[in-house]
Amino acid sequence: CGNGTDALQVAMMALTLRPGDEVITAPFTFIATVEVIRLLGMKPVLVDVEPDSFNMDPGKLEKAITGRTRAIVPVHLFGQCANLEEIQKIADRHGLFVIEDNAQALGADYIFSDGTRKKAGTVGHIGTTSFFPSKNLGAFGDGGALFTGDMELAMKLRSIVNHGMKEKYQYERVGVNSRLDTLQAAILRVKLKHLDDYHRARQKVAAWYDRELADIDPVTLPSRSPFSTHIFHQYTIQVPAGRRESLRKQLRERGVPSMVYYPSPLHIQVAYRDLGYEKGDFPVSEALCEKVLSLPMHTEMDEEQLGYITGQVRDFFNG
């Protein structure tokens, strides 16, 4: 399809979610996840995240389910999976759909308690992803995709992205115009062959950061969930809230880029204040927005660059 946001919208359309339905997701993520819920006339219901994995906390999920809940959208943030086994158990118990927002973890493995492995995006009813250029598998422009193991649902998804068409000029449902551009598809077809290599390169960078930053007490390094591999779309550390902006400033002055993903949780964004949430409702997400900092992460980094980056972080805390 055309992009990762469209993928989420098409998934919800294919599952016949309707205006007034409630869809559960997390407040610590990119805006697209709640945006499409609102665009389709539904109500986003938010569940706080875990402070170490940054992903939806299954222990808080069941309390958010009501008689109007139809689906759960766990986001696999920064490159590793949410706790899908627990989330799926809860969904099954309540007859809910699971749509995996897999824009940041394409290629990661989910590891079930019995040792079975499945790729991120293939566990729930539908998985969605993005091929935005900054992603681990990035096109040269926008692009997205949907995954499902249900053939009937797959046919429905293919129809919806092409105006609801079943056969030429025969339309059996309301659809959208969201086809993956041919040029982007050609680029992705070549890059897909190297995706595992891209992951290994990013994991090598993460291992360097882990080793060089491990003894800096104020810094919390990214955790690894035991049920997921980590492909490091981002390498996100946590810095005490009062020192993060000073660190960013010093890094910037010394030529080291860094980013905050995300500076504000979704429930206090102006566009979503009418959901009725207030500051303090999701303390973990709110605290993370004050502490997280993503260091440079890509496939072409060499030891000289990594040594310089980690040296600047160490200088800040040890200076």
- pTM score, two decimals? 0.96
What is the spatial distance between Cα 82 and Cα 104, in angstroms, rounded to a whole number?
A: 11
Beta-bridge partners for 293: 237
Q: Which domains does the chain have, with CATH numbers?
A: 4-191 (3.40.640.10), 195-318 (3.90.1150.10)
Amino acid at 171: Y
**CA separation, residue 39 to residues 10, 13, 249 (Å):** 12, 11, 37
What is the spatial distance between Cα 238 and Cα 222, in angstroms, rounded to a whole number?
A: 8
* pLDDT, tens digit, 9 for 90 and up, residues 43-76: 999 999 999 999 999 999 999 999 999 999 999 9
**CA separation, residue 111 to residues 114, 136, 227, 309 (Å):** 8, 20, 5, 33
Q: What is the pLDDT of residue 121?
A: 98
Beta-bridge partners for 45: 24
User: Helices 4-14 & 32-39, crossing angle to 10 degrees?
Assistant: 40
Which regions of the chain does DSSP assign to beta strands (E)? 22-25, 43-46, 69-72, 97-101, 109-111, 117-119, 126-130, 144-147, 165-167, 170-171, 235-238, 292-295
- Residue 59 in 3-state DSSP? helix
Q: What is the pLDDT of residue 319?
A: 73
Q: Report percent pLDDT > 70 for the chain.
A: 100
> Does residue 233 carry a pLDDT above 90?
yes
* pLDDT, tens digit, 9 for 90 and up, residues 71-95: 999 999 999 999 999 999 999 999 9
Q: Which structure tokens are listed for 136?
A: 């681990």
Nearest to 61 by CA among 41, 95, 99, 88: 88
The upper half-sphere exposure of residue 183, i.e. CA atoms within 13 Å in the direction of its Cβ, equals 3
What is the spatial distance between Cα 289 and Cα 311, in angstroms, rounded to a whole number?
A: 25
* pLDDT, tens digit, 9 for 90 and up, residues 294-319: 999 999 999 999 999 999 999 999 87
* pLDDT, tens digit, 9 for 90 and up, residues 82-133: 999 999 999 999 999 999 999 999 999 999 999 999 999 999 999 999 999 9
270: exposed, middle or buried (Cβ count in 10 Å: 0-12, 13-18, 19+): exposed
Residue 59 and residue 49 in contact, taking contact as beta carbons nearer than 8 Å: no
Residue 15 and residue 173 in contact, taking contact as beta carbons nearer than 8 Å: no
Beta-bridge partners for 167: 170
Q: Report percent pLDDT > 90 for the chain.
A: 98
- Pairing label, strands 165-167, 170-171: antiparallel
229: exposed, middle or buried (Cβ count in 10 Å: 0-12, 13-18, 19+): buried
What is the spatial distance between Cα 174 and Cα 249, in angstroms, rounded to a whole number?
A: 49
